[in-house]
């Protein structure tokens, strides 16, 4: 499979997230002051504005909030990939993440809203970072 | 409705007639359109004292447009929030004119998306520009515009039982209106549509799947095009060539991905009620609904959010071909042929204003008898992610 586009650096917001991915961890932020879960990474809490936002490790399990099977993408990498599943995944810790769902023989029939999925870190032929994607839990 | 405002009105319009315009630049389309819209209003170049522009290339923006046109405006505004920018700009012009800061405002748009072969819906460009807090979390996954909207459609179907057959009603009504608009027919022909006639539910169902559950005939075209709008104060509007289309109320809102959020509700749920409240009218009084049809789902969600029906009830609302121009029921949808079948160069918001005004003047190719009230609702950005909703309610005298 062709390598996916990589995150690019320097980019200070997302560096901690991707450094954790390299170690096989999926992370999110949680506000120390009001406990709001924050994702994607940023400097301030989206509920109270606090800047006390430590990273926490996610279990990597969640459910599909919604998905689509994309049939047409002029980006050569995804064009070569063929039909792929784009999804918003609701992780059990309460954050919603854009990702791809992999491992379905027929994504138009085997993927559904609400389906349980687990993260895996897909190695890439080129680039430093594996990419977190989700696979249905058998 | 004695308290309804009559502070500012759209008094001049022009839609660039071509959807494939090789050899023309976006700036040229804008400037030709401004000139024609001022002529439509019967106003002079030197009357313009306010410029609104998205700065979408070629050195535009409020500053660039002033320099090109040789004007010395007292107000410039470079609001750029995607396809709904023109509803936002009209709202700002309405405010600025009501506040006495300007008398004659121009909004313009030009694009050569088709001739320059920009892939708006399926381009999936990554690694362009500097990395940032957003693209560094999305680039690896192949997010494209149509995919983003498909995520909303899927969830809407899951929650409310909406089907492609329901959404197809939007494509069918819009195409019917396009077949009556010679510019839209030429657009479909020039852009090599497989068919340029009316379509059926089966045609939509059998068209190619682009991103499940959205089919080809649920996606807008990619054209060249543009246009211009002149908005003037009440004093000026009383003396222009055509009947004024008064701006009664406006609303602006944003929405974005939120943890645990509901993506079947758009920014229109905030901008719509604000606009209706200011205008002192109800959705059921609206004759013409010009709703941004990037995709069928955009119209479905926005009609619900503006209050034409309750959330999740679009499947019942669109029944019996009620959206057609010759239906006895209000409102009529996208009588110019929409982005689906007439004109979508990337940011369609300006065309929503243009066709609203044509209806209120009695100039539409799918004219609704005695059309008195129109709503133009733009949705910019991406419906399933960060987007903007801009609502403008217009009335004739």
Domain boundaries, chain B: 8-116+222-395
User: Where are the extended beta strands (E) located within chain B?
Assistant: 8-15, 50-52, 75-77, 104-112, 209-211, 214-215, 224-233, 245-255, 288-291, 332-333, 373-381, 387-395
Contact criterion met (CB below 8 Å) for B81 and B90:
no
pLDDT given for residue A9 in this prediction: 96
Q: Which of A73, A98, A113 is the closest to B124 by Cβ? A: A73
Q: Taken in order B108, B251, B367, B331, is the CA torsion positive or negative? A: positive
pLDDT given for residue B20 in this prediction: 96
Q: What is the 3-state secondary structure (H, E, C) of B224-256?
A: EEEEEEEEEEHHHHCCCCCCCEEEEEEEEEEEC
Give the sheet arrangement for strand B75-77, strand by strand: B75-77, B50-52, B104-112, B224-233, B8-15, B245-255, B387-395, B373-381, B288-291, B332-333
pLDDT given for residue B255 in this prediction: 98
In order along its 397 residues, chain B shows pLDDT tens digits of: 446 889 999 999 999 999 999 999 999 999 999 999 999 999 999 999 999 999 987 888 999 999 999 999 999 999 999 999 999 999 999 999 999 999 999 999 999 999 987 777 777 667 778 999 999 999 999 999 999 999 999 999 999 999 999 999 999 999 999 999 999 999 999 999 999 999 999 999 999 999 999 999 999 999 999 999 999 999 999 999 999 999 999 999 999 999 999 999 999 999 999 999 999 999 999 999 999 999 999 999 999 999 999 999 999 999 999 999 999 999 999 999 999 999 999 999 999 999 999 999 999 999 999 999 999 999 999 999 999 999 999 999 9
Neighbouring-strand partners of residue A66: A88
Q: Report how far residue A54's alpha carbon sits from residue A14's, in angstroms, rounded to the nearest whole number.
A: 13
Q: Which residue has the tokens 């409102």?
A: B331
pLDDT given for residue B171 in this prediction: 98
pLDDT given for residue B5 in this prediction: 84
Q: What are the tens digits of pLDDT across the range A107-130?
A: 999 999 999 999 999 999 999 999
- Which one of B118, B133, B147 makes the best mutation probe of the A interface by having the most chain A beta carbons within 10 Å? B147
Task: Please list every residue in chain A whose beta carbon sits closer than 8 Å to the beta carbon of residue B259.
Answer: 37-39, 90, 94-96
Determine the distance in angstroms separating the CA of B351 from the nearest CA of chain A, rounded to an integer. Answer: 27
Determine the distance in angstroms separating the CA of A135 from the nearest CA of chain B, rounded to an integer. Answer: 14
Determine the distance in angstroms separating the CA of A137 from the nearest CA of chain B, rounded to an integer. Answer: 20
Which contiguous run of DSSP H or E holds residue A67?
A: strand A61-70
Q: Which residue has the tokens 């758009």?
A: B266
Contact criterion met (CB below 8 Å) for A22 and A128:
yes
Tell me chain B's radius of gyration from C-alpha atoms.
Answer: 19
CB within 8 Å: A72 and B150:
no
Determine the distance in angstroms separating the CA of A138 from the nearest CA of chain B, rounded to an integer. Answer: 22
Q: Taken in order A126, A128, A132, A136, is the CA torsion positive or negative? A: positive
Smallest CA-to-CA distance from B180 within B328, B29, B363, B353 is with: B363
Size of the A and B interface in Cβ pairs below 8 Å: 141
pLDDT given for residue B124 in this prediction: 66
Q: Report how far residue B194's alpha carbon sits from residue B192's, in angstroms, rounded to the nearest whole number.
A: 6
Give the sheet arrangement for strand A55-57, strand by strand: A37-38, A27-30, A55-57
Chain A residue with the nearest C-alpha to that of B264: A66
Taking domain A59-138, whether its CATH number is 2.40.50.840 is answered by yes
- Could you report the predicted ipTM of this complex, rounded to two decimals? 0.97
Smallest CA-to-CA distance from B383 within B288, B282, B305 is with: B305
Q: Report how far residue B64's alpha carbon sits from residue B337's, in angstroms, rounded to the nearest whole number.
A: 32
Q: Report how far residue A119's alpha carbon sits from residue A136's, in angstroms, rounded to the nearest whole number.
A: 9
Q: Report how far residue B246's alpha carbon sits from residue B233's, in angstroms, rounded to the nearest whole number.
A: 10
Task: Please list every residue in chain A whose beta carbon sits closer than 8 Å to the beta carbon of residue B147.
Answer: 68, 70, 73, 86
Contact criterion met (CB below 8 Å) for A58 and B129:
no
Task: Report phi then psi at B198, rounded to 5.
Answer: -65, 155
Q: Which residue has the tokens 């470079």?
A: B78
Task: Please list every residue in chain A whose beta carbon sits closer than 8 Å to the beta carbon of residue B211.
Answer: 68-72, 86
Residues B8-116+222-395, CATH architecture = 3-Layer(aba) Sandwich (3.40)
Vertex B326 angle, CA B322 and B327, to 5°:
25
Q: Tell whether omega for the bond before B259 is within 30 degrees of 0, i.e. cis.
A: no
Q: Report how far residue B280's alpha carbon sits from residue A66's, in angstroms, rounded to the nearest whole number.
A: 37
- Which one of B142, B256, B295 makes the best mutation probe of the A interface by having the most chain A beta carbons within 10 Å? B142
Chain A residue with the nearest C-alpha to that of B257: A96
- B297 lies within 8 A of chain A by CB: no
Tell me chain A's radius of gyration from C-alpha atoms.
Answer: 16
């Amino acid at each position: 499979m062709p390598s996916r586009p990589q995150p690019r650096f320097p980019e200070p917001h997302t560096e901690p997230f991707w450094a954790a991915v390299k170690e096989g961890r999926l992370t999110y932020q949680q506000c120390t002051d009001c406990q709001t879960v924050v994702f994607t990474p940023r400097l301030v809490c989206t509920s109270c504005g606090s800047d006390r936002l430590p990273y926490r490790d996610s279990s990597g399990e969640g459910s599909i909030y919604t998905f689509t099977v994309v049939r047409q993408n002029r980006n050569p990498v995804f064009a070569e990939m063929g039909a792929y599943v784009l999804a918003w995944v609701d992780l059990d810790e309460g954050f919603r993440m854009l990702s791809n769902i992999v491992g379905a023989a027929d994504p138009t029939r085997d993927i559904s809203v609400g389906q349980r999925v687990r993260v895996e870190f897909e190695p890439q032929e080129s680039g430093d970072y594996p990419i977190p994607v989700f696979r249905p839990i058998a | 409705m004695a308290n309804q405002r009559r502070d500012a009105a759209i008094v001049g319009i022009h839609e660039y007639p071509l959807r494939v315009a090789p050899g023309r630049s976006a700036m040229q389309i804008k400037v030709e359109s401004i000139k024609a819209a001022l002529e439509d209003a019967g106003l002079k170049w030197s009357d313009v004292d306010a410029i609104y522009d998205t700065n979408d290339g070629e050195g535009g923006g409020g500053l660039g447009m002033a320099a090109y046109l040789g004007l010395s405006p007292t107000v410039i505004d470079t609001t750029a929030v995607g396809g709904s920018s023109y509803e936002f700009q009209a709202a700002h012009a309405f405010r600025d004119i009501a506040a006495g800061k300007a008398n004659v405002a121009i909004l313009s748009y030009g694009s050569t998306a088709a001739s320059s072969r920009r892939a708006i819906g399926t381009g999936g460009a990554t690694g362009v520009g500097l990395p940032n807090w957003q693209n560094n979390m999305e680039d690896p996954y192949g997010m494209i515009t149509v995919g983003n909207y498909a995520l909303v459609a899927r969830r809407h179907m899951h929650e409310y039982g909406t089907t492609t057959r329901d959404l197809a009603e939007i494509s069918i009504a819009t195409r019917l209106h396009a077949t009556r608009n010679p510019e839209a027919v030429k657009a479909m022909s020039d852009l090599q549509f497989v068919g340029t006639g009316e379509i059926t539910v089966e045609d939509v169902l059998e068209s190619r799947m682009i991103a499940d559950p959205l089919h080809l005939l649920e996606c807008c075209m990619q054209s060249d095009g543009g246009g211009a709008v002149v908005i003037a104060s009440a004093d000026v509007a009383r003396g222009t060539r055509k009947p004024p289309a008064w701006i009664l109320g406006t609303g602006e809102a944003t929405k974005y991905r939120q943890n645990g959020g509901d993506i079947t509700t758009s920014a229109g749920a905030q901008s719509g009620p604000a606009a209706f409240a200011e205008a002192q009218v109800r959705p059921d009084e609206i004759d013409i609904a010009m709703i941004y049809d990037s995709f069928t789902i955009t119209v479905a969600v926005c009609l619900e959010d503006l209050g034409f029906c309750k959330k999740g009830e679009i499947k019942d609302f669109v029944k019996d071909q009620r959206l057609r121009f010759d239906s006895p029921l209000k409102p009529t949808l996208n009588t110019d042929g929409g982005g689906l079948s007439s004109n979508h160069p990337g940011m369609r918001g300006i065309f929503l204003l243009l066709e609203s005004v044509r209806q209120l003047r009695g100039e539409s190719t799918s004219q609704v008898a005695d059309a008195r009230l129109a709503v133009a609702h733009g949705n910019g950005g991406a419906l399933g992610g960060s987007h903007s909703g801009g609502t403008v309610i217009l009335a004739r005298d």
